[in-house]
Amino acid sequence: MLYLIEIYTSAFNGINFVVAIDQQEVVASSFDKKLETALNKILGNLPFDVPFQVFANPSNQARTILSILKEIYEGKKKDAEIPLAYNNFSLYSIKVLKTTISIPVGYVTSYCAIAKAVGGGPRAVGNVMAKNPFPPFVPCHRVVKSDFSLGDYGLGGSKIKFEFLSREKQGYLKPIMVNASGASLEVFSVEQVLRKYK
């Protein structure tokens, strides 16, 4: 059965948010000050053999997803239950992406800590983060280096990553352990990262 990927856009406070939806799942998401840049990032994450169309007016489902995307961007949304289309990913990539989703607002973890939870090494985790098609639903901005330096961020570099984390600070003081797809993942307060850059 032939299906169509639907692409929707919405602008909030000068930021363009874009989602691609396929049969009730998010295939890709993006955001940027320039709509063209955000759309190009989406197009780079679409399957090459599936037709797509950009729609001017969001459907009800797309409006809800775009609203959640905006709340995550603003540091407000704590639990986004968004169905993501993982079918084109390796099992390892899926484990890394799902583990990243388990990092709560107000916390960060390291590439090394994720590697300890899912296997592989920090570089392998970094490679998955670099190809994350679901930002910020999969909050790769919450993954930093072991010394709490920011590392890179594909959607605008470390400056955007710093801005994200600044909006997400909650005043937490101590590290905690969270359940990440059946494994334990140590997470640290956002403030530990932000203090490094004062």
Determine how many CB atoms are found less than 10 A away from the CB of residue 163: 15
What the block records as the tokens of 148 is: 């709490």
**Residue 106 in contact with residue 168, Cβ under 8 Å?**
yes
Reduced 3-state DSSP string for 2-66: CCCEEEEEEEECCEEEEEEEECCEEEEEEEECCHHHHHHHHHCCCCCCCCEEEECCCCHHHHHHH
CB 161 within 8 A of CB 149: no
Closest CA to 125 of 102, 147, 145: 145
Is 140 a known active-site residue?
A: yes
The active-site residue out of 7, 82, 115, 140 is 140
The closest alpha carbon to 134, from 22, 57, 35, belongs to 22
Catalytic residues: 140
